[in-house]
Amino acid sequence: MSTATDTPDRTAGRPATAQAPAGRARLLRWWPAAVLLVLVVAPFSAVPVPGLLDGPLGSAGSLQLLATCLLFGALATGYDLLLGRTGLLSFGHALYFAAGSYATNLFLLEAGLPFALATVLGMLFGIALALALGSVSLRVTGIGFSMVTLAFAQAGSILVSRNPGGVTGGEEGRAAPSDLLPSSLVGIDNTANLYWIALAYLVLTLGVVHWAVRSPTGRVWEGIKENERRVEVLGLKPYGFKLTAFVVAGGLAALGGIVHLLLTGGSTPQTTTSDFTLSLLVMVVLGGSGTRWGPMAGGILYTWADHRLGDLAGSGAVADLPAVLRVPLSQPLFLLGVLFVAVVHLLPGGLARLPSRLRAASNRKETVVS
């Protein structure tokens, strides 16, 4: 007859301190699902978030800001596929974002195509443009590659501003035709639907980048980033792998341009400038280049700060300060620059390194106490 004492205790020889971290680690694996659930149900919430948002969480203004943050978090993640994963510093990534927006808008306005077909064609146009320009840009390496991508971006920006045939709208841009868009995506009452589209774009981008990085091609990208010559010695041709990364990143950017078209209700020339790409670069560095969640976090934080610091700069609290403080603090770009310098100086490696640094500090503290 067996008793409780006959059953072997599988945890008897295992320290309790070792079991607890293992349990916490298993729980931590599910935090992305928990965050995603919160983001999905956010439009149904009326919880106020003072300081972070102007109104309740589910209000139209708050959802618009959150959707924009999610959009640029995804865009920075896609851009990091070039910078952080393959080691390609492109100054022309904004061109493919603008291509998706303008091409889709023109297919709607000029050709009168249905929204679904215009979206597919706009996406394909962005991919084709990335393939064509990437095949030329990648013929050179290093700073030469960066300058070629910058030249293409400048050419695209000039083309849009010149407004050939009146199709781009010049400096004013072109509004999307509301009568050709689905009624569920037009109007303040449907802001939640646009928010969910931005969230879906973020999830799709994270999934594509994660899958690509873990694939055999992704491992070659890592090798190219570390030592391209060594990849050549192994018998592989880096050009084709780099072009693949360029096209995937360009396609994701084009899709982001389509989402931006829906969020803002039109195509704007500001999305074609090199400053736009530099903003993406800042987002990636701020969050942590080459990490899974860092670029997304950097894109979200930068976009939120860009919107909210503008309100702070124009607030009465800043207006009442002495001139020596009021003048710099009334400039949103100055505040963004200070934030960026502070993060880079205090957190080398970006926001993504913060958890590991906190754990290391905690371990050092426990060691000193013991």
Place of tokens 């303008």: 102
DSSP of 111-168: S---HHHHHHHHHHHHHHHHHHHHHHHTTS-THHHHHHHHHHHHHHHHHHHH-GGGSS
Single-letter residue type at 270: Q
Are 31 and 163 spatial neighbours (Cβ–Cβ below 8 Å)?
A: no
**Residue 366: predicted pLDDT:** 66
Greatest alpha-carbon span in the chain: 93
| Residue 235: other Cβ atoms inside 10 A | 6
Q: Which residues of the chain have pLDDT under 70?
A: 1-28, 311-320, 324-330, 332-333, 361, 365-366, 368-370
DSSP of 232-292: HHTT--HHHHHHHHHHHHHHHHHHHHHHHHHHHTEE-GGGGSHHHHHHHHHHHHHH-TTSS
Per-residue pLDDT tens digits for 88-132: 999 999 999 999 999 999 999 988 899 999 999 999 999 999 999
Alpha-carbon distance 245 to 1, whole Å?
Answer: 65
**Residue 15: predicted pLDDT:** 52
Alpha-carbon distance 266 to 87, whole Å?
Answer: 33
**Residue 128: predicted pLDDT:** 97
Q: Domains in the chain, please, with CATH?
A: 55-369 (1.10.3470)
Terminal-to-terminal C-alpha distance of the chain: 46
**Phi-psi region for residue 290, left (φ > 0), alpha (ψ -120 to 50) or beta?**
left
Written as six digits, the tokens of 90 are 């492109």
